[in-house]
Each structure stands twice: as C-alpha cells, then as structure tokens.
Amino acid sequence: MLLVAAAASLGLGCERVRQVLDRITGTPREGAVCTAYSGDCVGPNEALICIDGKYIRRACENGCTSNARDMECVAGEGQRCAREEEGTGNCDARGGAMLVCERGVVRKQPCRGPDKCKGSPTGVECDGTIGIKGEKCSKDAIACAADG
C-alpha cells in the first residue's frame, strides 16, 4: 500500500501505477504491458501470453504448466500468436496434427503418416508422408495419397 501511495505522489497515473506494480509482483494482468517471451499460467488450461506488447488470455490445448524458468501453453487452432512464435509448432492434444504459428494465427497442419506428430530433441516432427490432393504442403514434399 505504501508503494501505491508513493507512486501516486510522484504524479504517475493509475495505469502507470498498475504497470509498476505488475513488474514488482511479477504477476501478469490481461491487457498489461509486457515484453516478448513473457507469460504465466492463470489456471490449469489457460495462460496470459505477451503478444504485441500486451498480455492476452490464451486457452491451452494441452493444459498449462509452469515453473520458475518456463511456461508451456500450446495455442489451439485460430488463436493469435506472437511474432516470436512465427514458424514454431506443437502437437495438438491427439498428436494427429501440428499447430503452427503463421502470420499471427495458429493453423493446424495434418500429420497423417504413421509417426503422426511428436516432439523430438530438435523440435516437433510432423509425419506428412500421407496427404490429400489439394492440401497445403511444402514445395519439396512428397506424400502418398490418403486413399491409396
């Protein structure tokens, strides 16, 4: 309380006081100013993630976990994602697709091959060896047709 009174006496506005308190307590608040790669779980299945300099609420596809160093929250298809997440991916809850951040939105990429989607020491691997005609793919990809 003393800190709030001191900040107010310095002529800081209410929003600025909230920003100072958020930084001191380390507790993210929806809409608060933040820095890239910051965020925290706010429940077992949601988090506050820093996107474009503000914390936004995100539902977590596989649940939300955190410790002193890291926080894990896989965004679901159609959710917003940060520039820092561009091109990165995670497996969906069933392991049948990879969720990839493309142009600020999470998009689902099917992993129909026998190895489906799985994590590896170098990142996430999506087995796209089985595909459907007309489906998006990388230009160097070869896939068997899903219908044989």
Q: Is 0.75 surpassed by the pTM of this model?
A: no
User: If pLDDT is split at 50, 70 and 90, which confidence band does 5 have?
Assistant: very low
| Strand-strand pairing, 46-51 and 39-43 | antiparallel
Rounded Cα–Cα distance for residues 117 and 92 (Å): 8
Tokens of 56: 């936004």
Q: What is the mean pLDDT of residues 2-24?
A: 47
How far, in Å, are 29, 53, 110 from residue 47 at the CA level?
Answer: 10, 15, 25
Average pLDDT over residues 12-24: 50
* pLDDT, tens digit, 9 for 90 and up, residues 124-138: 899 988 878 877 766
- How do the domains of the chain map onto residue ranges? 34-145
> Is the pLDDT confidence value at 9 over 70?
no
